[in-house]
Structure 1
Amino acid sequence: MGRRPRVEYSGAIYHVIQRGNNREYIFQRTEDKLFLLNELQKRKRLKEFLLFGYVLMGNHYHLILQTTGISLSKLMHLINSSYGRYYNKSRKRTGHIFNGRYKAIPIQNEQYLFAVLRYIHQNPVKAGICQRVQHYKWSSDIDYRDNQEGLVDINILLNMMSDNRAEAIKKYSAYVEQEDEEEYDEIDVLGDESFVLAIQPSKKSPTRKDLDQILRDTNLSSTDFEHLKRGSRRRDLIRYKVDYVREALLQGYTLKEIGENIGISATAVIKLTKR
């Protein structure tokens, strides 16, 4: 069975997981973890992404990030290639160090974003490495507790918790200590039903209608049909767009296909699913 193609769109937030080849250890030394963090910092200086959280474990790492000036696939290729070269050179070895491609889970909103942040910060505790989240050195938990804006973009999430920074950190600390039973690296999308449907469209039906026919079936007038095809932003046409998007997703069209047919972006298509 072929791999499911990744869905990427501008402004998306992802929970990224990269494991070592055959789950072998890829961070045996302090220098290894520092190299990856320095590589992330180097890419951050180029304003290519926002980093909301990370944890470096022995045989894998987690990132929560939002790309801004680069595609996720290119960013991960640059980071992993650089680390792979460093790792092989430092061990005088050759070959792959990562277990195939990374996994990237799209995150719909701040509710799921906070939950994933807690989940990755609790990784060392659940692995039996330490007893408390704050006892682990190689995660972004310390950035949040110590109010360190730099590699990690802590201000965005802390400001959501409170306008008062001391109160926000207190709320963060209490939240991250709560029990989290979810396994967020075992699913494909983090969001509500409409978001999941938009990110993971159903398989193509051999008898599906073409997109223009789906659009016509919303009972648009001929004039309004032409306006939508030219990318009209008229508010009175939104309800037709919503009906069109929902039916097109059910028939297995991708976000890109649906959006291009009426002159809107994949992000705009997702927003229509939430109406």
Structure 2
Amino acid sequence: MPSQNCSHRLRTGRYSESGQIYLVTVVAVERQPVFTTYKTGRLVVEAFRKAQEEQFANSLAWVVMPDHFHWLIELQNLSLPKLMARTKSRTTVALNRATQRQGPVWQHGYHDRAIRKEEDLLAVARYIVTNPVRAGLVKKTGDYSLWDAIWV
């Protein structure tokens, strides 16, 4: 795990751009499976919807796994670091309230990858929504309830 200083150096030179499509992955602290129920997973989904409602990000595809999420977005009127800080904060507050727990939910930082225009967005979305199948949680994507994609 990179130190805080190393983590900071990895972000040096990064910038986010409105209209750019990003694949973002956020992992729970120590990969704890905190989103194991539909109810807790929907707390993350509500944060995605709020970001879209506020016109900060257009959600293209997402999946909420027990210990992380993948979110394919078109960034709109907010920087990616601010969007991720808001999303992580909202989900932490909501989960802690709903489950009477305390403390952080997410690891520091997040992984992001800008998607080039020539990349096949449908293939990226397919990769995201089939994550529960690859993880052995379900036999087919339709059996998992915490995912969505605009192409479906």
| Counterparts in 2 of 1:138 and 1:93: CA distance versus 1, 3 Å | closer
| 1:2 partner SS | helix
When normalised by structure 1's length, the TM-score is: 0.49
Secondary structure of the 2:17 match is coil
SS in 1 for 2:133: helix
1:1-275 aligned within 5 A:
2-3=6-7, 4-5=10-11, 6-141=14-149, 144-145=151-152
Higher helix share: 1
Shift of 1:15: 0.5
Summarize deviations over 1:109-164 as a string: whole Å, max 9, x none.
252422211111111111111222222221115x533xxxxxxxxxxxxxxxxxxx
Q: How far apart are the structure 1 equivalents of 2:138 and 2:128?
A: 14
Distance 2:99 2:41 in 1: 15
Structure 2: distance between partners of 1:117 and 1:15: 9
Offset, 1:101: 0.9
Q: Distance in 2 between matches of 1:76 and 1:35?
A: 15
Q: Which amino acid aligns with 1:144?
A: W
Who wins on radius of gyration, i.e. which is larger? 1
- Is the CA contact (8 Å cut-off) linking 2:26 and 2:107 kept in structure 1? yes
> Helix, strand or coil: the match of 2:147?
coil
Distance 1:104 1:91 in 2: 29
**Larger relative strand fraction:** 2
Q: Give SS of 1:98's match.
A: coil
What is the TM-score when the length of structure 2 is the normalising length?
A: 0.85
Aligned length: 144
**RMSD of equivalent CA atoms:** 1.8
Cα deviation digits, residues 68-101 of structure 1 (max 9, x gap) = 1111111111111011112222333322111111
Letter paired with 1:84: T
Which amino acid in 2 is paired with 1:51? S
Match of residue 184 from structure 1: none
Q: Which runs of 5+ in 1 are unaligned?
A: 146-275
Gaps of at least 5 residues in structure 2 are none
Shift of 1:35: 1.8
- Matched to 2:84, the amino acid is M
Check whether the contact 2:132–2:144 (CA below 8 A) recurs between aligned residues. Answer: yes
Structure with higher RCO (Cα < 8 A, 6+ apart):
2
Superimposed CA distance per residue, residues 3-49 of structure 1 (whole angstroms, 9 cap, x where no aligned partner): 21133223221100001100001212222122221222122122221
CA distance in 2, matches of 1:12, 1:120: 18
Letter in 1 for 2:112: A
After alignment, is 106-115 or 24-33 more displaced? 106-115
SS in 1 for 2:26: strand
Structure 2 CA distance for aligned equivalents of residues 88 and 42 of structure 1 = 18
4+ residue runs over 3 A deviation: none
**Equivalents in 1 of 2:102, 2:88: separation in Å?**
15
